[in-house]
Structure 1
Amino acid sequence: MRIHLSSVFVDDQEKALRFYTDILGFVKKTEVPLGEHRWLTLVSPEAPDGTELLLEPDSHPAVGPYKSALVDDGIPATSFAVDDVHAEFGRLRGLGVHFTQEPLETGPVTTAVFDDTCGNLIQIVHSE
């Protein structure tokens, strides 16, 4: 069994697509119109056939309170692996990304958390 798809709820799919591709560097894999929304998935350019990230509309009534509770408590919606948290932190900060947690080393793991501009906190992580 493998993880095929994971989703992150976004308040605006077009804004999310721009942020996740132009800033974070993901690549659009699938775009299928579904009424007022789209089935919109991204992949890492390093793994084009790997796990897909679905930019899922947050229109379900349960999603707003869920997202707000996570952000209020500082809990990331998901986590992305990077080779060097400090380097990625510098790159993203240089692009105007707002971090809620600067790089933090806890033993063999380094993390940082940023706001994805679509209502979520996202963690980047590297472990040795």
Structure 2
Amino acid sequence: MRIYVSSVFVDDQSKALDFYTRLLGFRVKNDVPVGEHRWLTVVSPEDPDGTELLLEPSDHPAVKPYKAALVEDGIPATSFQVDDIDSEYDRLVSLGVSFAREPMDAGPVRMAVLDDTCGNLVQLIQMKGA
């Protein structure tokens, strides 16, 4: 058994697509119209056949309070691994990305938390010693 798709709820699929591709560097895997929304997935360019991230519309009534509670408590909706968090942080800040937490050591990892502009916090992780 493998993880095929994981979701992150986004307030605006087009805005999320721009953020996740242009700024974070993911690539579109699927972009299929489904009613007023899209089946919109992105993948890492380093693993184009790997796990897809579904940019899921936040329309369900339970999603808005769920996302608000996560952000209020500082809990990331998802986490991505990077090779050099300090360089990635500098690159993203230069592109105007807002961070809720700058890079810091946390046990076996260095981590930072960014705002995806679509209602979520996203954690970036670098494994120490990797």
- Shorter-chain TM-score range: over 0.9
Alpha-carbon distance between aligned partners in 1 of 2:26 and 2:106, rounded to the nearest angstrom: 27
- Residue aligned with 2:61, SS: coil
- % identity of equivalent residues: 68
Are positions 1:72 and 2:95 aligned together?
A: no
Partner of 1:113: 113
Consecutive aligned runs of 4 or more in structure 1 exceeding 6 Å deviation = none
Count of residues in correspondence between the two structures: 128
1:62 shift after superposition: 0.1
Larger mean Cα displacement after TM superposition, 103-112 or 82-91: 103-112
Matches for 1:45-56 after TM superposition, within 5 Å = 45-56=45-56
Give the Cα separation in 2 of the matches to 1:106 and 1:99: 17
Deviations 1:58-83, CA, capped at 9 Å, x for gaps: 00000000000000000000000000
Shift of 1:117: 0.2
In the alignment, structure 2 segments of 5+ residues that lack a partner are: none
TM-score of the pair, normalised by structure 1: 0.98
Q: Secondary structure at the match of 2:90?
A: helix
The one-letter code matched in structure 1 to 2:116 is D
Counterpart-to-counterpart distance in 1, 2:10 and 2:24: 15
What is the TM-score of this pair, normalised by structure 2? 0.97
Give RMSD over aligned pairs: 0.6
